[in-house]
């Protein structure tokens, strides 16, 4: 217990220096159409190159950062890094694709959040249509009035919104009415093993029907096998993201493999 606590304390201390020391970086995981594997965008996922521990996945520091409040500093860094990256790709002559990023609750709740987004888009001359924000049900269900007005303000600017890990939160479906969202991302917990699990089949089929009725796009997360992909495609899921198509890759690899030069 004691070493655990010490370990956490050490990591929090190191995290405080991570941004100044340039230790955070983004990986990009392609999102593709499920019918033809045509690339439609990517999700930016943060990584931490710890000087002693090597590359750390978000699972080993995001929960800690949420606990300490350092998550806001990370999410602000990610927001600017994504917009800067889009600007760099455009300036280098590539056809840009929409990039999504994940928002924590305290980041989303910042009163200046929408203004920060608008400011950065203007500063880097990036069209808002290239930015997509992923919020979990937990983030969205905080203060409903605030969520609706914030999402509306973002939509008005041209930013698109996804509900991440859909189906894992405890939220009423009624909110889907009021939230101006574009996409539901089906959590990988429901996708893995879907071909053998009747309950998962039922849940995912219901999510996709709901999504179609609401005029939303569905993205399946965590597709690892052809069978899973075929199953989701037959249920009329629109897009997917998963190791089957690609793991998250560095910005350089993403650009080399997936971006095409403007005509």
Which 162-221 positions form the footprint of ligand C2E (CB under 6 A)?
164-165, 188, 221
* Binding flag, residue 102, Mg ion (CB under 5 A): yes
* Binding flag, residue 137, ligand C2E (CB under 6 A): no
Span interacting with Mg ion, options 13-21, 55-63, 127-135, 202-210, rule CB under 5 A: 127-135
Considering the complex, state which of residue 14 and residue 160 has its C-beta at the smaller distance from Mg ion: 160
Q: Which helix (H) or strand (E) holds 237?
A: none
* Binding flag, residue 75, Mg ion (CB under 5 A): no
Which 193-222 positions form the footprint of Mg ion (CB under 5 A)?
221
Question: Minimum distance between the CB of residue 221 and Mg ion, rounded to whole angstroms?
Answer: 5
* Binding flag, residue 165, Mg ion (CB under 5 A): yes
Residues 6+ away with beta carbon under 8 Å from 33: 40, 238, 239
Instruction: For Cα atoms 247, 249, 254, give the angle at the middle one, nearest 5 degrees.
Output: 120
Which 239-258 positions form the footprint of ligand C2E (CB under 6 A)?
241-243, 248
Instruction: State the binding partner of 17 from ligand C2E, Mg ion, none, CB within 5 to 8 A by kind.
Output: none
**Three-class SS of residue 260?**
coil
Q: What separation in angstroms does the CA of 16 have from each of 49, 68, 71, 78?
A: 13, 10, 10, 15
Question: Minimum distance between the CB of residue 168 and Mg ion, rounded to whole angstroms?
Answer: 8
Considering the complex, state which of residue 134 and residue 238 has its C-beta at the smaller distance from Mg ion: 134
Considering only 102, 147, 160, 183, the residue that binds ligand C2E (CB under 6 A) is 102
Q: What separation in angstroms does the CA of 70 have from each of 15, 26, 169?
A: 8, 17, 23
Please, what's the largest Cα pairwise distance for the chain?
59
Considering only 104, 147, 211, 218, the residue that binds ligand C2E (CB under 6 A) is 104
Span interacting with ligand C2E, options 12-20, 145-153, 173-181, 237-245, rule CB under 6 A: 237-245
* Binding flag, residue 54, ligand C2E (CB under 6 A): no
The number of residues that bind ligand C2E (CB under 6 A) is 25
DSSP conformational letter for 182: -
244 near 34, Cβ under 8 Å?
Answer: no
Residues 6+ away with beta carbon under 8 Å from 30: 39, 41, 42, 241, 245, 246, 254, 258
Helices (H), 52-143: 62-68, 71-91, 105-109, 113-123, 137-140
Question: Minimum distance between the CB of residue 41 and ligand C2E, rounded to whole angstroms?
Answer: 14
DSSP conformational letter for 183: E
Q: Could you list the residues that contact Mg ion (CB under 5 A)? A: 102, 134, 164-165, 221
Q: Could you list the residues that contact ligand C2E (CB under 6 A)? A: 29, 45-46, 57-59, 62, 71, 75, 78, 101-102, 104, 134, 164-165, 188, 221-224, 241-243, 248
């Amino acid at each position: 217990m004691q070493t655990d606590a010490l370990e956490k304390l050490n990591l929090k201390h190191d995290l405080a220096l991570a941004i100044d020391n340039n230790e955070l970086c983004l990986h990009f995981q392609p999102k593709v159409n499920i019918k033809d594997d045509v690339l439609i965008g990517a999700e930016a996922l943060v990584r931490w190159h710890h000087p002693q521990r090597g590359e750390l996945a978000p699972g080993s520091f995001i929960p800690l950062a949420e606990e300490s409040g350092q998550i806001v500093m990370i999410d602000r860094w990610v927001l600017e890094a994504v917009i800067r990256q889009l600007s760099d790709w455009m300036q280098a002559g590539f056809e840009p694709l929409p990039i999504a990023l994940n928002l924590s609750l305290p980041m989303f709740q910042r009163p200046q959040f929408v203004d920060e987004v608008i400011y950065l888009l203007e500063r880097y001359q990036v069209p808002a249509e290239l930015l997509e924000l992923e919020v979990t049900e937990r983030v969205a269900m905080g203060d409903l009035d605030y969520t609706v007005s914030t999402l509306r303000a973002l939509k008005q600017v041209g930013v698109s919104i996804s509900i991440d890990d859909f189906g894992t939160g405890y939220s009423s479906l009624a909110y889907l009415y009021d939230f101006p969202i574009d996409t539901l991302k089906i959590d990988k917990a429901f996708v893995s093993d879907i071909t053998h699990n009747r309950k998962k089949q039922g849940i995912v089929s219901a999510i996709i029907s709901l999504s179609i009725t609401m005029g939303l796009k569905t993205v399946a997360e965590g597709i690892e096998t052809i069978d899973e992909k075929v199953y989701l495609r037959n249920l009329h899921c629109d897009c997917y993201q998963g190791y089957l198509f690609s793991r998250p890759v560095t910005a350089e690899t993403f650009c080399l493999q997936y971006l095409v030069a403007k005509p």
